[in-house]
Amino acid sequence: MEYEEPKFFHVMQYAAAADGDVIDMVSGNPDWEPPAALREALREYADLPPADFQYPPSDGLRELREAIAERRGVDPDRVVVTNGTGEANYLAMARALDRGAGDEALLMDPVYPYYPGKTHLLGGEPTLVPTARDGGLDVDAVREAASEDTALIVLNTPNNPTGAVYDLDAVREVVGLAEAVDAVVVVDEVYDRFDLAGSFESALTLDSDRVIVTSGFSKSMAITGLRVGYGVFPEAHVGDAKTRHMLVNVTGARPSQYAVYHALAETEPDYYAQSRELLADRVDAFTDALDAAGAEYSRPEGAFYVLARFEGFPGTMANVKRLVDEAGVAGMPGEAFGTARDEWIRFALVTPRATEAAERLADYFADGAPETPADPR
């Protein structure tokens, strides 16, 4: 089986090779400081005895799992610490598709590209389900799509790329649909600390044995390179998830888990509030400039992405490259996120140059969409 390289890397490589100054709004790497306690814990770790440089427990350091469980209100034995949220999603999706309950995965459109990629990797068949215009869940569309072949429904809230925060009652309805067709609902909550509207409620509050919740610390602690995520599995699924995790990875990295544990224990809520305030300011400045450019856009309720549509300038890979070359701004083509927003372009606001990027876009589109270059053929 052949797999397609995610378009993220293609755009980032193209932008890095560009001749001029390009503002990266492709990657989701936070540009602010990690918690001070995390830096200090990493310094301390270098002086620990040799035993602390060996394998940790495969499902994660006990103290870290207990800290996660306390925050999420679950039993620590349901928590599996993973190599980033990406692996947690892989384990959760694999568990849903391994049960012999069908091979279809319902994915909300627009969709984070790694979900269909993982579905194919696991031998499943993705079906894209349209969302509401604001990116919210369309329960009727999920109901229409669900069938006896549906084994998995994936939700992501706060959402990448739309910034929507799903209403908990809508999530509850989707879980009810999953029960009717014997599907598992995987809810990726990695952006839960970036609830800009104050409306996020975790799917764990539903207390359903149909729900697996995944999350991590890459975004919330600005540590995408440390790779610490986790999944909260129902009792019936956690054993199989731990086995697959062990077979694929053996375990995770002890220093990363040690540092995250200390950061969880010692970091005040103000740390997370400050990052939300920073992002809210960037959303205001960026959307003001998009207004000046005459763009249509989705104002995020959570996470840190803005989807924008420029009249006469669809979100193709070719046009994204034009923005890199002609405006000095790198975004992600909407066509990378399914079919629902293929006219749009996604911009990540995790750069101190977000306002400057918005001004460049406003200047570029000041007189409407630039003319499409003539086909050299």
b/e for 180-198, b at 16 or more Cβ within 10 A?
Answer: ebebbbbbbbbbbbbbbee
Q: What is the DSSP letter of 325?
A: I
Q: Which domains does the chain have, with CATH numbers?
A: 7-34+270-364 (3.90.1150.10), 51-266 (3.40.640.10)
pTM for this entry: 0.95
Cα 236–155–211 angle (5° rounding)?
20
- Listed in sequence order, the DSSP H helices in the chain are 7-16, 36-45, 62-72, 84-97, 114-121, 139-145, 168-181, 235-249, 254-266, 269-292, 317-322, 354-364
| Predicted local confidence at residue 377, as pLDDT | 35
Residue with tokens 């996120």: 337
Separation of alpha carbons 276 and 33, rounded Å: 13
Contacts within 8 Å (CB) and 24+ apart, 363-369: 363/327, 364/293, 364/323, 364/326, 364/327, 364/329, 365/293, 365/294, 365/295, 365/310, 365/313, 366/292, 366/293, 368/294, 368/311, 368/312, 369/310, 369/311, 369/312, 369/313
Q: What is the pLDDT along the chain (377 residues), one digit of tens a residue?
A: 556 667 878 888 998 899 999 999 998 999 999 999 999 999 999 999 999 999 999 999 999 999 999 999 999 999 999 999 999 999 999 999 999 999 999 999 999 999 999 999 999 999 999 999 999 999 999 999 999 999 999 999 999 999 999 999 999 999 999 999 999 999 999 999 999 999 999 999 999 999 999 999 999 999 999 999 999 999 999 999 999 999 999 999 999 999 999 999 999 999 999 999 999 999 999 999 999 888 999 999 999 999 999 999 999 999 999 999 999 999 999 999 999 999 999 999 999 999 899 999 999 998 766 766 544 33
Residue 155 Cα distances to 71, 133, 364, angstroms: 21, 16, 35
